[in-house]
Amino acid sequence: MDRLRRAAVKLALGEQPTEDLPMIAALALADGLDSPALVELAGLSRRDPPADIRDLFVQAVAELGFPVPGVEEAWRERMLEAAKGMLSGSLTHYEASSEIYWCACHLERTDTATELVNLFIGLWSNWEDWPDQRASIERDMRLAAADLLRSHGEQVPEPVA
């Protein structure tokens, strides 16, 4: 499901090449997911009309219970995935903080979004400017990422050792 969800978020943000969706669908079928539109999408070629591919993908993810998100929701989901990536170790502290900052910049301007931008740009730039204090800065990045996830009702993954 993660592969399809990531593709749906990227599609909402205009970052998902439509021609890759049939292969993503085929891989999802191989992973054990199934829906009528997913099967049909997996049978298409990269050279089929992009509108047909996109429409089938949108239908397939809706059938699987997670429609393609709106742009605001997609930025928020991408931001939360970066926070999870930092805590799980799949992204470096620097990469995740940069991604969280970038995503927060695209969110509707609220007090919370502004706080996030300020917090993560500060941590991110401190990481660059104070290499001798990186351990402390990375601890603060992890704490901020965990707080971000909790504030959105997300489960906080156990940090890697």
pLDDT digit string (tens) for 56-110?
A: 999 999 999 999 999 999 999 999 999 999 999 999 999 999 999 899 888 887 7
Q: How far is CA 25 from CA 47, 58, 74, 101, in A?
A: 15, 11, 20, 31
Q: Do 40 and 31 form a contact (C-beta atoms < 8 A)?
A: no
State pTM to two decimals. Answer: 0.85
